[in-house]
Structure 1
């Protein structure tokens, strides 16, 4: 696989502005000429190894921050948006998309916002009869998607909230500390069989948790309420920076931030990072050690992106039985489809067939990147005979170069190219020619239909 040249003009310029030096002074400290710096800042030339090392030595820059993170996410999102039939077959080449994401990220985000608004407009028109005469019929951005994108482009790591939760966890045994903090704030805690998962009455100071929930879930919900009670100013300041377009999106994000605090307090960054390395990322051992659920541990592993102390870049996803993605995040080059479900060849769907067991998969995406993928079903009982049980599958994975650091990589033939199953992102942007699970043709490739021949698919994709 060819090595892609690394362009990071935006990050280079941000670093120079952060330290407050002129281009000339910045170039001198990097040991390069002013014209060369100017070319790199404008993405006319890639970063050299010498410049990367100088950035780390002179300015203490974490080299991992120069990864293509946001740019790759935007490229993936733009490519999926451009697969919409409204754009026809004239799709910009990948090189143009990478230049747009690197040189004009604000414009790229505006394009994605415009396409999202267009899709929502089309969905509104499709149900126009139902919408006529209602004030809510006007087109509005989806608050759920807005919040999802906020965490997506924050790399699913919120530094201030994460550190505040870690400080809280350092005060002593977690549950004792949590109960003491609630008592200090005049909150009476009650655990009852008939209660919802969590219910708090600010007027009476009464917090009720469900006895039907698992201990890990109750602990998590207690910490969530503590975040709202004791870290409200921090959460609000973070929300102010996000500049959400609606109060609904802000409220959803506040819940997300409180959940983030709860997970980070339950699994404090430093201790969890060290433990993950010690047990080679064994989810069951980590769940037992930190009193968390398998899903909470998997999600936490995907957030270990603290500058200077990053963990393995993982992707994390949760899907329901219909294949709909309900949670998603990727710190890897693998990016999930913004619309629709996940690739049916991916092992996360097979997790429903083997309840209570981890399913491993060596997979390769169309760009040639290989991954170790882990999947398992997750049951969320309702707590009583008549209460419904929610069922999901979670997926966790990383690039195969990290497989030796995971217990799940043991005994897998990672050196055998034939051991890797081909997976994709979305059928409309997947270039695989002979996929037996393809639902629609790839938008970027012509197809040939022969009424006298029929293979696995009713068409062929010429090379």
Structure 2
């Protein structure tokens, strides 16, 4: 909570109904009056410290997850969904959306599910007209999008797994230089699984193969050492945290087996990252090194991408780090990874704004590209971007090139080494960026590719600007 009033009416109501209790019975279990329960469930009163303790003691509530605030994320997603022209005459304000989310979060999520199906149907009808004669439109959300939403609304922080990974790292003395050795020993000693490093015999696209029949894990020895370590610790997560992961998956209620399988891998990846970069020690080092990702990667024996991703997850209640957003894009501008602990949310459809510094990184490979940026809502950020290259061994091995970006609100800029020498108080030094053209509200932008779908445009044949229309 950390100084914020916590309204959790819908979560309280869901908990009471799951326990099959009346408001009177629920009030007795909490030691409060029935009228107080009614006020709490209708968000007329915030949770008090006494009620929170009663929830923990009487119902075993994980208060970190119970109090998770995903309001800003859902507001942004709903705002984008409602920007469709079909809502032009009845588009709710952001304040209306916040009220709806506070009182009926399940309805908000249901609406987003419906909107995803609608968007998928429109996209498919536009690009696969001939296929519509032979197959049915899949109304379920795309599995990867559903899993991205799961982590996004969890604030990219999974408390149970994070603390478990940290405890294990402390127990066995996991340090930056011994991830591979101790991971291999853990699999052999605890799970009777041998680790075999295959060189030159595995497909370069394969990092590991689990062979349960032979009791062994094959690891691609041509992969970078940090990647090898990560794959071993992911296997440890699948072996040791199976029940915890399955319980989280059950609670998430994914709509397809594919989404559940993808999320299982994502949760195992989360545990692996949290073990290699344990929360308390990594947070302390990040603060001491002013979030220098290269120095952090060297200290913890991790890759730059692993470090940047981990920085975006440091949102443990009571011990929060700097709120970072993290994304990875390919050379076509497609966002392949995205996480945000900030107000900045990425567009659900399409690529990233071309004015973001992450695209400039491809022009300066191997360098840190810094950017001061302002979004249409007036929020200002400092961000960095850098290219990363992933390839196998040998001349013919495929090369995959990406750019990663890491950023935080400018109020936290002095806590990062990347603010040194930048005039963060000069408004003219900020690039005016957005999420994507289809939902960006800026009237004048030299890089605009298409009009915003919720805006009216006018075209004057007598005047030719960079963009051949004006947004009313």
TM-score range, shorter chain: 0.7 to 0.9
State which of 306, 309, 332 in structure 1 corresponds to 2:342.
Answer: 332
C-alpha distance in structure 2 between counterparts of 1:59 and 1:405, whole Å = 36
Kindly indicate whether the alpha-carbon contact (under 8 Å) linking 1:8 and 1:41 is maintained by their aligned counterparts in 2. Answer: no
C-alpha distance in structure 2 between counterparts of 1:11 and 1:408, whole Å = 41
Judging changes above 3 Å, is the alpha-carbon distance between structure 1 residues 406 and 362 closer, same or farther for their aligned structure 2 residues? same
Equivalent residue, structure 2, for 1:93: 93
C-alpha distance in structure 1 between counterparts of 2:341 and 2:193, whole Å = 38
CA displacement at 1:447 relative to structure 2: 2.2
CA displacement at 1:92 relative to structure 2: 2.1
1:427 is paired with a residue of what secondary structure?
coil
Matched, 1:187 2:193: yes
Q: How many residues align?
A: 444
Kindly indicate whether the alpha-carbon contact (under 8 Å) linking 1:317 and 1:395 is maintained by their aligned counterparts in 2. Answer: yes
Equivalent residue, structure 2, for 1:31: none
CA displacement at 1:73 relative to structure 2: 0.5
2:386 is paired with a residue of what secondary structure?
strand
In structure 2, stretches of 5+ residues that fail to align are 17-25, 57-62
Equivalent residue, structure 1, for 2:453: 443
C-alpha distance in structure 2 between counterparts of 1:13 and 1:257, whole Å = 23
2:447 is paired with a residue of what secondary structure?
coil
Kindly indicate whether the alpha-carbon contact (under 8 Å) linking 1:65 and 1:307 is maintained by their aligned counterparts in 2. Answer: no
1:434 is paired with a residue of what secondary structure?
coil
C-alpha distance in structure 1 between counterparts of 2:330 and 2:112, whole Å = 26
C-alpha distance in structure 1 between counterparts of 2:39 and 2:53, whole Å = 21
Kindly indicate whether the alpha-carbon contact (under 8 Å) linking 1:212 and 1:384 is maintained by their aligned counterparts in 2. Answer: no
The RMSD of aligned alpha carbons is: 3.2
Matched, 1:104 2:111: no
Q: Deviations over 1:369-413 (max 9, x none)?
A: 110111111111122211211111111110000011101111110
Q: Deviations over 1:212-263 (max 9, x none)?
A: 2111111111111111222222221221221212211111111111111111
1:289 is paired with a residue of what secondary structure?
helix
TM-score scaled by structure 1?
A: 0.87
CA displacement at 1:44 relative to structure 2: 7.1
State which of 8, 16, 21 in structure 2 corresponds to 1:10.
Answer: 8
Judging changes above 3 Å, is the alpha-carbon distance between structure 1 residues 420 and 59 closer, same or farther for their aligned structure 2 residues? farther
1:96 is paired with a residue of what secondary structure?
helix
C-alpha distance in structure 2 between counterparts of 1:237 and 1:262, whole Å = 18
For 1:189-268, what aligned pairs fall within 5 Å after superposition? Answer: 189-191=195-197, 192-195=199-202, 196-268=206-278
C-alpha distance in structure 1 between counterparts of 2:55 and 2:134, whole Å = 59
CA displacement at 1:128 relative to structure 2: 4.3
Range that drifts further, 379-388 or 328-337: 379-388
C-alpha distance in structure 2 between counterparts of 1:197 and 1:13, whole Å = 41
State which of 412, 430, 434 in structure 2 corresponds to 1:402.
Answer: 412
C-alpha distance in structure 2 between counterparts of 1:314 and 1:361, whole Å = 14
Matched, 1:412 2:412: no
Equivalent residue, structure 1, for 2:23: none
C-alpha distance in structure 1 between counterparts of 2:67 and 2:349, whole Å = 25
CA displacement at 1:22 relative to structure 2: 7.8
Equivalent residue, structure 2, for 1:71: 71
Equivalent residue, structure 1, for 2:166: 166
Kindly indicate whether the alpha-carbon contact (under 8 Å) linking 2:381 and 2:407 is maintained by their aligned counterparts in 1. Answer: yes
Q: Deviations over 1:287-306 (max 9, x none)?
A: 00110000000000001111
Matched, 1:140 2:140: yes
Q: Deviations over 1:327-366 (max 9, x none)?
A: 1111101111011111111111111111111111111111
2:140 is paired with a residue of what secondary structure?
coil
Q: Deviations over 1:191-216 (max 9, x none)?
A: 12222311121100121111221111
Kindly indicate whether the alpha-carbon contact (under 8 Å) linking 2:287 and 2:415 is maintained by their aligned counterparts in 1. Answer: yes
Range that drifts further, 164-173 or 414-423: 164-173
State which of 287, 294, 300 in structure 2 corresponds to 1:290.
Answer: 300
2:394 is paired with a residue of what secondary structure?
coil
C-alpha distance in structure 1 between counterparts of 2:215 and 2:397, whole Å = 28
1:375 is paired with a residue of what secondary structure?
strand
Judging changes above 3 Å, is the alpha-carbon distance between structure 1 residues 356 and 238 closer, same or farther for their aligned structure 2 residues? same
2:471 is paired with a residue of what secondary structure?
coil
Kindly indicate whether the alpha-carbon contact (under 8 Å) linking 2:438 and 2:451 is maintained by their aligned counterparts in 1. Answer: yes
CA displacement at 1:64 relative to structure 2: 10
In structure 1, stretches of 5+ residues that fail to align are 1-5, 28-33
Kindly indicate whether the alpha-carbon contact (under 8 Å) linking 2:374 and 2:380 is maintained by their aligned counterparts in 1. Answer: yes
CA displacement at 1:75 relative to structure 2: 0.9
2:435 is paired with a residue of what secondary structure?
coil
